[in-house]
Amino acid sequence: MNLDKNCVAPKVWLITGCSTGFGRALAEAVLKKGDHLLATAREPEQLRALIDHYPKTAFGERLDVTICQEIQAAVDAAIKTFGRIDVLVNNAGYGLIGALEEVSDADIRQQFETNFFGAVHLIQTVLPLMRQQGSGHIVNMSSTAGLVGFGGSSIYCGTKFALEGISEALAKEVRSFGIKVTLIEPGAFRTDFNGRSLAAVKQSIDAYATVTGASLQWFKDMDGKQLGNPRSAAQAIIQAVESPHPPMRLALGTDAMSLIQEKLEWVKTDLDAWQQVTVSTDYTDKNSGVMVS
């Protein structure tokens, strides 16, 4: 086969949580542009219409990201089908509403297993292949709540803050292997996050009614009215992946931009106000740069 020298080979994507929302919008977008996809979902029958529409480039696999054996099976399926993985998108996850004191240990652990450890295990499973390839792009779906704490969502914020931290460090660890890392930080988008993908504490505490109740009411009132368009978000993610210099963080939505800017100003205000106290904790001798404890 004679290919144009300017022809770019299609990328192979592995995306989690493709049944609805961001995952589905991104899956449809990458297939429409001619790339290849291993789409995953906990209920793979929900992927049937997508796969039937793109029978030569789309394949589906069951994947519950809390089950390590299914993670390995999904990665193996992608390698068997396509021979490589160019882009891993850790999208699977859900929200949890409840003040910290209200949330059960089981709910906390399940939230972290899905939103954080699932992504970590997938990254660990894919990295040997990407290192061997000498290329790859890991896209982690964070949130505005990965940089900004919201009352009534402390555990959800915790999972996303954790994902932000490992992603930033990971980017430095894998840069020399030709692997890139990008965090996606959406604001409010018209997905099912406010509905099917949102859970609430089972036993509330009256003292937190104005916090937890207000959070639940906000999500209910905003459902279907969010400013963000998932299809536009998918195109923005593709643009970042195709860029020779992709961002470490990509905020999506004017609400995300505004909230993150407010957070940065808040951090700077505290740094400036407490600067004298901050620097007063250094040794005053000339052995600066020597790590001591």
Residue 201's CATH number:
3.40.50.720
pLDDT for the residue 143: 96
Q: Is residue 144 part of a domain?
A: yes
d(C-alpha 58, C-alpha 64), whole Å: 19
Q: Is residue 266 part of a domain?
A: no
Neighbouring CB atoms inside 10 A of 68's CB total 15
pLDDT for the residue 154: 94
| Total tally of structural domains belonging to the chain | 1
Q: Rounded to 5 degrees, what angle do the CA atoms 135, 11, 59 make?
A: 120
pLDDT for the residue 189: 74
pLDDT for the residue 224: 60
- Can you give the residue range of the structural domain that contains 239? 12-257
Q: Is residue 273 part of a domain?
A: no
Q: Is residue 94 part of a domain?
A: yes
pLDDT for the residue 196: 59
Residues taking part in catalysis: 142, 156, 160
d(C-alpha 75, C-alpha 69), whole Å: 10
pLDDT for the residue 289: 60
Low-confidence ranges of the chain (pLDDT < 70): 1-7, 191-198, 218-219, 221-222, 224-225, 286-293
Q: Is residue 185 part of a domain?
A: yes
Q: Is residue 270 part of a domain?
A: no
Q: Is residue 278 part of a domain?
A: no
131 touches 177 (CB < 8 A):
yes
Q: Is residue 268 part of a domain?
A: no
